[in-house]
Amino acid sequence: MPELPEVETVRRGLAPVMEGQVIVRADVRRPDLRWPFPDNMAQRLTGARVERLRRRSKYILADLSTGETLLIHLGMSGRMQVSGTSVGTFAHEIAPLVKHDHVVLDMENGARIAFNDARRFGAMDLMATGQEAAHKLIAALGPEPLGNGFHADYLAERFSGKNTPIKAALLDQGIVAGLGNIYVCEVLHRVGVSPKRKAGNLSRRKIEALVPAVRAVLSEAIEAGGSSLRDHRQANGELGYFQHTFRVYGREGAPCATPGCGGTVKRIVQSGRSSFYCPQCQR
């Protein structure tokens, strides 16, 4: 599933062709994805101007001139594909519709944005602008890891007495929003903490190191266009390339990247997910 950097990369790619533009035609080509689309979604989108594109956790939020906000969740395999205009240095002709193009937005500037989702785990919804904090997908989310609400005091309070592994705690969207398996593995390697360590046993020093490490890993991944392991593409169709700088994720059996460590990356399974770490330098 796309994590925060991939979703932010898509948002940044969409902003130049959507913000300030009217949706001249919305084509909703099926009744649902993971859940049913809202009633009359095509009619509610057609003629609306996109005032602003935002991101909350792994969701893109498009504020519309109609007083509604369109929520977009990419799910496992969703892509927002832009054609008919220039995206950065790439020029794209209007692409013919293909299988799994489930929602198509034609903009007044000639751009076409197609939401393609082969597995149909994505979602779209409409809500009153400013009410997203109460939406069922957003209401229970923790603070943004790149925002001011995410800091060492907050983490220390949330981790206090917690007997779950630190890996599970950081993946808990109620503690911090947007983190996923890839980036948690990378963060824990940078701070030298085993994914098996109990969150409640983490020292204050390690918690204080964790916050800037989270921000650094996410920021670097965003600048690299995210990580393309299977389905992720940027809005211009290009791959992300942060996967080429992974220190542990997917590197089972490889030498540890920490200078002077000499350890070997190991893979374990925690709650059905692979965790990659170096037992030598992550304790």
Examine the residue annotation and report whether 162 is marked as an active-site residue of this protein: no
Taking a C-beta distance cutoff of 8 angstroms, is the pair 240, 265 a contact?
no
Examine the residue annotation and report whether 195 is marked as an active-site residue of this protein: no
Q: Which tokens hold the place of 185?
A: 């593995």
Examine the residue annotation and report whether 99 is marked as an active-site residue of this protein: no
φ and ψ at residue 65, rounded to 5 degrees: -70, -15
Among residues 34, 215, 267, 273, which one is catalytic? Answer: 273
Among residues 3, 6, 132, 186, which one is catalytic? Answer: 3
Taking a C-beta distance cutoff of 8 angstroms, is the pair 25, 46 a contact?
yes
- Neighbour-count burial of 271, counting CB atoms closer than 10 A to its CB (0-12 exposed, 13-18 middle, 19+ buried): exposed
Taking a C-beta distance cutoff of 8 angstroms, is the pair 225, 241 a contact?
yes
Q: Which tokens hold the place of 214?
A: 């989270």
93-117 core/surface letters (b: 16 or more CB in 10 A; e: else): eebeeeebbbbbbbbeeebbbbbbb
Examine the residue annotation and report whether 30 is marked as an active-site residue of this protein: no
Among residues 55, 58, 79, 206, which one is catalytic? Answer: 58
Compute the distance between CA of residue 145 and CA of residue 212 in angstroms, rounded to an integer: 10
Maximum Cα interatomic distance, the chain, rounded to a whole number of Å: 61
CA distances from residue 187 to 30, 53, 179, 225, 255 in whole angstroms, order as listed: 39, 28, 10, 18, 17
Among residues 2, 5, 16, 195, which one is catalytic? Answer: 2
- Neighbour-count burial of 273, counting CB atoms closer than 10 A to its CB (0-12 exposed, 13-18 middle, 19+ buried): middle
Q: Which residues are catalytically annotated?
A: 2-3, 58, 273
